[in-house]
Structure 1
Amino acid sequence: MYIYVVFIHIIAAVTAMAAVICYPLIMSSARTTSQVRFALSLLEKTAILPKIGGTLLLLTGLALGFLETSLFKELWYVLSIVIFLVILVIFAGLIPAGIKQQLRLLQQTKGEDLPEKYRQSRKRSAWLEGIANLAAFIVILLMVFKP
């Protein structure tokens, strides 16, 4: 049973992390209002991936802990769960809210120049994405090396 849960855990990680890593790549290539609108609508559609993958990742991670209860005594395991909850809050709650705000700002914009309010909102989202990506890297390190 344990190996099947690990398999689902890995698939969930790939699903969630692929989307997380792509957010900054997609947004960094958009330069005009219409490009940003398209990029944000794409991110809005793919926002389900971190939500589903992340939730499944958390549930399977906890299931692994219940199957192997000694994991709850391991610092790397507990830290991974705590850090992952931060990632989940960022990508399931804060980033989608930022995307909606940015889309609203762009709907009010005429022309192709990006408004300053959008740039400020995008900087906040980029900062959150950076924190989440760094946290994901730390979680991966903890899981691989189990210090």
Structure 2
Amino acid sequence: MYIYLLFVHILAAVIAMAAVICYPLIMSSAKTTSQAKFALALLEKAAILPKLGGTLLLLTGLALGFLEVSLFKELWYVLSIAIFLVILVIFAGLIPAGIKQQRTLLQQTPGDDLPDAYRQSRRRSARLDLIANLAAFIVILLMVFKP
């Protein structure tokens, strides 16, 4: 059972992380209002991947811990879960709120030039993306090297 759960856990990580890594790449390519609108619509559709993958990742990680109870005494395991919860908050709550705000700003913008308010909101989202990606990198390091 453990090996099958581990397989699902790794698959969920790939699903969640692929979307997380792509967020800043997609958004940094938007240079006009119409491109930004398209990029935000794409992100809204892709938002299911980190939510689904992240939830499955958390559940399988906890299930692995319950199968191997000694994991709950390991610092790397507990830290991984704690850091991962931060990542989930960012990608399930903060990033979608930023996307809604940016979309509203773009709908109110005549022309194709990106407004300054949008750029500021996008910078906040980019910082959150960076924090989440660094946190994900740390979680991966913890899981691989188990210090």
1:30 aligned partner: 30
CA distance in 2 between counterparts of 1:31 and 1:46 reads 20
Deviation of the 1:76 alpha carbon: 0.2
2:86 aligned partner: 86
- State the Cα RMSD in Å: 0.4
What is the number of residues matched between the two proteins? 147
Deviation of the 1:81 alpha carbon: 0.1
Q: Given the two structures, how large is their TM-score scaled by the length of structure 1?
A: 0.99
Deviation of the 1:97 alpha carbon: 0.8
CA distance in 2 between counterparts of 1:125 and 1:82 reads 21
CA distance in 1 between counterparts of 2:125 and 2:13 reads 22
**Does the alignment pair 1:68 with 2:63?**
no
Q: Given the two structures, how large is their TM-score scaled by the length of structure 2?
A: 0.99
Q: Which segments of 5 or more consecutive residues in structure 2 lack a partner in the other structure?
A: none
Deviation of the 1:55 alpha carbon: 0.4
CA distance in 2 between counterparts of 1:137 and 1:101 reads 28
CA distance in 1 between counterparts of 2:17 and 2:38 reads 22
Percent of residue pairs bearing the same amino acid type: 84
CA distance in 2 between counterparts of 1:121 and 1:58 reads 29
Deviation of the 1:99 alpha carbon: 0.4
CA distance in 1 between counterparts of 2:25 and 2:119 reads 16
CA displacement, residues 66-101 of structure 1 (integer Å, 9 cap, x when unaligned): 000000000000000000000000001110111011
1:104 aligned partner: 104
Q: Which segments of 5 or more consecutive residues in structure 1 lack a partner in the other structure?
A: none
